[in-house]
Amino acid sequence: MKIFSLFTKLFLAILLFVSMLVPHEVSASEEKSAFKLGKEFGLEILSDVLVNPDPEYSRGNSPAITVLDNGLVVAIKEYDLKLYYQFGEYNDGKMYWSYPKEYDTGFSPTASTLPNGHIIDIHLGHYWKQKLFYNLGRYDEKTGEIDWYSVGNFYNEHAKDPSMTVLANGDVLEVHENGSDMSNNLYYNLGRYKDGKIEWNSLGNKYDAGRTPSITALDNGSVLEVHKSQWNNGLWYSTGTQNGNSFDFTDSSNYEDHGRDPVSLQLDNGLILTMFEGTRGHHPTWNRMGQVNGDKIEWTTNTFTEFNGRDNDVVQLQNGLMLNVHQSPDDDTLWYVLGRWKPESNRVVWWPENLGHN
């Protein structure tokens, strides 16, 4: 009987461990307890499901984030070739996260918010791993969920590592690396939301060569593109301006830094924040700040780091804080940090300072 009891306890422990790894739908009892917990924290939006304030907020790969008009953060991830979304809300120095909900299959997602408040995600397909698809959704205030009203829309092939930004005029600009050969050419696609879908006005436009491109819109109507060299770990950037249904990109300029998977963000004060994964040590996330002047970045800080991580994404919240999400350098756990620009040091300071994987 003792042996049987021991095996029973071991079996139940294994089941509990597996259940913690796999994203799950929220049960009625979970929603009820989450509602009570949310009310205790005084959350105003989605207080029935926002329950997790830990820096480790989920599990998965390729985290991407965007901010809705109501201030809610939508975090997207891939887990076992399935796509999930979850909400986050800032409250008293922390982010509170909902349970993840499955909505599609695929991997390598990127997300943004359209002028009408709807969300667009672009990703690579599950079975067609070099084909690009997009989904469209809107936040439903009655259900507290995203209504994905247009899912699985194929629009381009021979691609990998997509990145996207929405321009001031509402156009969607997506960049990616060629996925069909070893040329490492970089391409852009330009489209616009109309009648519940994206009309792609310009597809398959080569603009440079490199790897892991990332794109962000600037407040002067131009864009900033950053990528890694196709030959080494050198980092490069260029600016682009729209010309009708096409984009004119400048020649690339060298960061004078080395790293992987760069991303960038323009802060409310006009400064540019770039983040990238270091090539040495325990996957440090490096930061550098500067000001765009014409087609160049005038760097205002040296490179600095405060935490480790990979596959970084970063947005600015409506309260002016920065939110970074990334994957642990050790496993598939996903983490967040919050940042604030400090004028006295002319840099962003991130917290919490001591993440579990640092």
Residues 260, 226, 126, 97: what is their CA dihedral angle, to the nearest 10 degrees?
Answer: 80
**354 pLDDT tier (thresholds 50, 70, 90):** low
Q: What integer pLDDT is reported at residue 126 of this predicted model?
A: 79
What's the pLDDT score for residue 182? 76
What torsion, rounded to 10 degrees, do the Cα atoms 140, 21, 335, 82 define?
A: -50
Class of residue 343 by CB neighbours under 10 A (exposed 0-12, middle 13-18, buried 19+): exposed
Q: Is the pLDDT of residue 129 over 70?
A: yes
> Could you tell me the pLDDT band of residue 346, with boundaries at 50, 70 and 90?
confident
Q: Is the dihedral of CA 322, 170, 210, 128 positive or negative?
A: positive
User: For tokens 């962000």, what's the residue?
Assistant: 216
All residues at 6 or more sequence positions from 344 whose CB lies less than 8 Å from its CB, including other chains:
none
Report the amino acid identity of residue 265. Answer: L
Q: Which is it for the CA torsion 118, 148, 338, 290, positive or negative?
A: negative
- 215-246: per-residue pLDDT in tens? 999 999 999 999 999 999 999 999 999 999 99
pLDDT at residue number 179: 83
The residues with which 234 forms a beta bridge, in sequence order, are 258
So what's the pLDDT on residue 188?
A: 98
Closest CA to 20 of 9, 28, 12: 12
pLDDT score, position 38: 37
SS3 assignment, position 183? coil
pLDDT band for 50, please (50, 70, 90 cuts).
Answer: low
214, 188 Cβ separation under 8 angstroms: no
Average pLDDT of the chain is: 86
Fold exhibited by the domain 2-351: Neuraminidase (2.120.10)
pLDDT at 291 over 50: yes
User: What's the whole-number mean pLDDT along residues 253-260?
Assistant: 92
Listed as own residue / partner, the contacts of 291-296 with beta carbons closer than 8 Å and 24 or more positions apart are 292/218, 292/220, 292/222, 292/224, 292/239, 292/266, 294/239, 295/238, 295/239, 295/250, 295/253, 296/253
Bond before 23 cis per omega within 30 degrees:
no
Q: How far apart are CA 309 and CA 259, in angstroms?
A: 12
Radius of gyration of the chain (CA): 21
pLDDT value at 32 more than 70:
no
Token code pair at residue 252: 């690339």
- Give mean pLDDT, residues 249-254: 96
Given pLDDT bands bounded at 50, 70 and 90, which one contains residue 43?
very low
| Region of residue 70 (left: phi > 0; alpha: psi -120 to 50; beta: else) | alpha
Other CB atoms within 10 Å distance of the CB of residue 148: 18
User: How do beta strands 61-67 and 56-59 pair?
Assistant: unpaired
pLDDT band, very low/low/confident/very high, at 48 (cuts 50, 70, 90) = very low
- Asked if pLDDT for residue 14 goes beyond 80, the answer is no
Comparing 207-221, 263-277, 279-293, which segment has the lowest mean pLDDT? 279-293
Residues present in the chain in total = 358
Which tens digit of pLDDT belongs to each residue from 156-201? 999 999 999 999 999 999 999 998 777 899 999 999 999 999 999 9
Verdict on whether the full-model pTM lies above 0.75: yes
Q: Which two tokens stand for residue 153?
A: 């829309």
Nearest to 272 by CA among 333, 227, 322, 325: 322
Q: Tell me the domain boundaries of the chain.
A: 2-351
Q: What is the pLDDT of residue 47?
A: 38
